[in-house]
Amino acid sequence: MTDHTSQSAQAAGKSDAGYWAANVRIILVSLVIWAICSFGFGILLRPMLSGISVGGTDLGFWFAQQGSILVFLALIFFYAWRMNKLDKEYGVDEE
């Protein structure tokens, strides 16, 4: 597909391979946060967070019941916004 890349983007040294590598980096960072907040703070690291109290219980309980869901939402919207920007930077968007 490289032959379809818009000329300005190519001139800036931006290739489809570069676009994909950037995308994979963003995905990896997002998934690390995804795992730390749910499996980490919500389950495995909960004992470490037991000192931080939230409304009658500890931070780990809050992450397991509500916090992780809020983080998931933030991650998806961040990814959509970041990728739509990346699409334009690399000239691979749909317009």
Partner 1 sequence: MDQFTINLLFVGASFALYIGIAIWARAGSTSEFYAAGRGVHPVTNGMATAADWMSAASFISMAGLIAFTGYDNSTFLMGWTGGYVLLALLLAPYLRKFGKYTVSEFIGDRFYSPTARLVAVICLIIASVTYVIGQMTGVGVAFGRFLEVSSTTGLLIGAVIVFAYAVFGGMKGVTYTQVAQYVVLITAYTIPAVFISLQLTGNPIPGLGLFGDHTTSGEPLLVTLDALLRDLGFNEYTTHNGDTFNMVLFTLSLMIGTAGLPHVIMRFFTVPKVSDARWSAGWALVFIALLYLTAPAVGAMARLNITDMFWPNGANSEPVSLERIETDPRYDWMATWQKTGLLGWEDKNGDGRIAYFNDKNPEAVAKAQAAGWGDANELTKFNNDILVLANPEIANLPGWVIGLVAAGGLAAALSTAAGLLLAISSAVSHDLLKGQLTPNMSEKNELLSARIAMAVSIAVATYLGLNPPGFAAQTVALAFGLAAASIFPALMMGIFTKVNNKGAVAGMLAGLITTLVYIFLHKGWLFIPDTNSFTDADPLLGTIKSTSFGAVGAMINFAVAFTVSKMTAPIPREIEELVESVRIPRGAGAAQDH
Q: Are 79 and 71 in contact (CB under 8 A)?
A: no
Given candidates 10, 45, 72, 89, which one binds partner 1 under the rule CB under 8 A? 72
Q: Does 65 bind partner 1 (CB under 8 A)?
A: yes
The closest alpha carbon to 58, from 66, 69, 47, belongs to 47
Shortest separation between residue 52's beta carbon and partner 1, angstroms: 13
Q: Does 14 bind partner 1 (CB under 8 A)?
A: no
Tokens (6 digits) for 78: 């961040």
Cα dihedral angle (74, 80, 82, 88), rounded to 10 degrees?
A: -170
The footprint of partner 1 (CB under 8 A) covers 1, 4, 16, 19-20, 23-24, 27, 30-31, 34, 38-39, 42-44, 46, 54-58, 61-62, 64-66, 68-70, 72-73, 75-77, 79-80, 83-84, 87, 91-94
